[in-house]
A and B are shown apart, each in its own frame.
Chain A
Amino acid sequence: KAGVTQTPRYLIKTRGQQVTLSCSPISGHRSVSWYQQTPGQGLQFLFEYFSETQRNKGNFPGRFSGRQFSNSRSEMNVSTLELGDSALYLCASSSGLIGYTFGSGTRLTVV
């Protein structure tokens, strides 16, 4: 069974640009969550999507957004990038019954 796939694996962007990250969940999983991990703040919840609807949101500014498609694939977008947005962005999928399966993450560096 294929795991959670996140692309790209690494990304370098310039301050002020925008970025889109992609996540393909495990087949059959309808819930996709996004997390940000930084050395200072640790792992923080961004948002969760289920059946194309955002049903949970963390405490992040509106520059962070996401969406989910009918095949459960999800994207997150960060607009007007700031240096502090440099982080490991993790996607997790769940069938809602046991736990979350995380992808390997996208390492975003803002310069």
Chain B
Amino acid sequence: DAKTTQPPSMDCAEGRAANLPCNHSTISGNEYVYWYRQIHSQGPQYIIHGLKNNETNEMASLIITEDRKSSTLILPHATLRDTAVYYCIVRVEETSGSRLTFGEGTQLTVNP
């Protein structure tokens, strides 16, 4: 799986959009970009994933650049409960065996 690079920490004001960047310059054509987050001492929570196109769900939006070498997770209206460590992961989508390789992630702190 390709390696990802994320800033170690970010701050965001409550109610504003949080934009979390991720670099994955060695991503392969069949690797998906996944985002998970982990609130202190809980298990990671799946947020969103994508291959080429931008994706949106009830939690967030994922913007992937045309060359797929970077992406941005957008939380449109951050709340205090969005304070967590956010992990960007790239992996092959397969049903025959896989693993998630977690990096250091970005500690997002949403301030009142």
Contact = CB atoms under 8 A, between A and B. Distances in A.
Interface residues of B, number: 21
A105 to B, nearest CB: 5
Interface string A40-52: 0011110010100
Contacts of B81: none
Interface string B67-99: 000000000000000000001000000111111
Contacts of A107: 41
B28 interface: no
Contacts, number: 55
Contacts of A98: 46, 49
A104 B40 CA distance: 11
B99 A103 contact: no
B99 A56 contact: yes
Given A42-B104, A99-B34, A33 B99 contact: yes
Given A92-B44, A98-B49, 18 more contacts: A33-B99, A42-B104, A43-B44, A43-B87, A44-B102, A45-B99, A56-B97, A90-B44, A97-B95, A98-B46, A99-B34, A99-B49, A100-B44, A100-B100, A102-B44, A102-B45, A104-B43, A105-B43
Interface size of A as a range: 20 to 34
A54 B41 CA distance: 27
Interface of A: 4, 33, 35, 42-45, 48, 50, 55-56, 58, 88, 90, 92, 96-105, 107
Given A42-B104, A98-B49, A99-B34, A105 B42 contact: yes
B76 to A, nearest CB: 21
